[in-house]
Structure 1
Amino acid sequence: MADYSVPRRLAAEALGTAFLVATVVGSGIMAETLTPDKAVALLGNTLPTGAILVVLITVLAPVSGAHFNPAVTLVFTASRQLSVRLAGFYIAAQILGGIVGTITAHAMFGQALVQASVHIRTGAAQWLSEGVATFGLVAVILAGARFERKAVPWLVGLYITAAYWFTASTSFANPAVAVARSLTNSFSGIRAADLPGFVAAEMAGAFIAAAVMSWLLTPATTIAQTERARS
């Protein structure tokens, strides 16, 4: 990744998260407008989300790393690939970008710019789903970055496309996106009261994935070299 200035990196994170959320919310509004069938509407929400992730990560990863997700940012911060100070700026940019994305989607469809969602998404099954979804997302990112960095945009886009359908929560897997989706009462919304459970589950899934992948992706030769260096 080239050495881009902090303002440019923050702009990339904000812009990317804004487009991601605008796609999630906008495609949800379009889907429920076009069909009363919830399965078809979910498909109409899923495909654009997976597609936009491929595009956004491809074009913005060289600038900021294309996190668009506080959970991903904190995992990279914990592994010392990002400073705590810069991580705070990243997260602020992501949350702000997500909110702008929701407002923009509403504006494009002629709806109230900010809405209080009444969509109930709570309970053990939903929280487990978010933990599993975020675990898988972080695992895919870490393994992809290790073995096939150029494929990461496709890996993430395809994973989220799949996770929409195999998780009960439809795979938010992103605290910034969850916050932004609490401001829409459309197909993709979530009640603000349900945010703490989602965010806690997402963070737990992210850090469990980081720990598991740190062990899984460490070759035996590296372990042996470390042990010899200590002896």
Structure 2
Amino acid sequence: MNDKELRANDRPDEDAGNRAGSEERSILRRTFFYAIGGIAALAATGAVGVAHGEGDLLRPPGGQDESAFLAGCIRCDKCRSICPTNCVRPGVLEDGFVAYRTPKIDFHRGYCTFCNKCIEVCPIKCLAAFDPVENKIGLAVIDRAECLAYKGSGCQVCVDACQYGAISLDEAGRPVVNTGLCNGCGQCEYECPSASYGSYSGSGVRGINVSTVAAAEAEGVAAYSLGEGSDAEMTGANRIAHGDSSDSGA
């Protein structure tokens, strides 16, 4: 073994540190160029003043503190790359400049199994430890205009899909979300067939969609008050969330 090889063997930790530093610098450079590209694209389309959406995006598990998440995320794309169900996607221009290229959840592509791989791979640790029993990615909300059960089809795909017992049927055979049990895993949205069989708008909106907790509350869902409520209380809240506080079954 020559002197050069001996010197290399004497510095394994130093070499590993250099490689890690080089990788981090590469990530930061890529993040910088993404940001510059985003500014240019927004300016070119005249969308600098209108792009918005920060705070309304579903984040990977552990990233629900939006301010802390945005302050830490370096847009390295590792959480998206490792997601086994492909539900982590990069933010696009329409999501807003600040959110551009940050990871978001798209339940049209898959649902979260809470495998924690995204949390483990995050180099900045801006995805916090997540307990699917105690924590929430978001809350499932029924869209009565799109839900096949509300059209009298008898569909209960979301009820069967939910592994947490968070969705049941009311007296009229329509789905009701127990917000105390729902953790926003997205399996109900992923498996909902309404976009394929019942939607004519072409929007891709489904009969049940997961929103951030804040957005769900803004729509009228009492996010944390229904966990121990009766079926009647849950049904009433479900109607209020969609603009109908009456007790009728219509």
Q: Same fold (TM over 0.5)?
A: no
More relative contact order in 1 or in 2 (CA 8 Å, sep 6+)?
A: 1
The structure that has the greater radius of gyration is 2
TM-score by length of 1: 0.26
